[in-house]
Amino acid sequence: MSKTSSYKLLGFLTTLNVLNFIDRQLLSSFSNFIVPDLNLTNTQFGLLSGLAFIVFYSLMGLFMGAIADRVHRPKFISFGVLLWSLLTALSGMAKNFWMLLLPRIFIGIGESILTPSALSLLSDHFPRKNMGFVSGFYYLAVPLGVAASFYIAGYLGPLWGWRNCFYALGAIGIVLAIVMLFFQETPNRKEQLEIQLTKDVLNKKAIKESITALRQTLKENYALRLTIYGGIAAHLILGAATFDQLWLVQDKGFDRSEILIITGTIGLPAGILGNLFGGIGSDYYTKITGKGRQIFLFWCLLVFTPFMVFYRLTEDTGIVFFSIMFLGFFQWGCLYGPITSSIQEMAPEKMRAIVFAYYLLMVNIVGLGIGITMAGVMIDYLISNGIEDAYSKTMFTFQLLAGLCLPAFYVAGKNYKPINKDF
pLDDT digits (tens, 9 = 90+) for 46-57: 888 777 777 777
Give CATH superfamily name and number for 3-183+205-414. MFS general substrate transporter like domains (1.20.1250.20)
Considering the chain, what is the average pLDDT of its residues? 84
CA dihedral 140, 146, 147, 149 (to 10 degrees): 140
- pLDDT tens profile 183-214: 877 766 555 554 454 445 445 566 677 777 77
Banded model confidence at residue 131, pLDDT cuts 50, 70, 90:
low
Averaged pLDDT, 271-297: 86
- Report whether pLDDT(72) > 90: no
2: left (phi over 0), alpha (psi -120 to 50) or beta: beta
The pLDDT value recorded for residue 108 is: 81
Q: Lowest-pLDDT range, 72-76, 366-370, 418-422?
A: 418-422
If you average pLDDT over residues 377-386, what whole number do you get?
A: 92
With H, G, I as helix, E, B as strand and everything else as coil, classify residue 183.
coil
Query: At residue 333, what is the residue type?
Result: G
- Residue 24 predicted with pLDDT over 60: yes
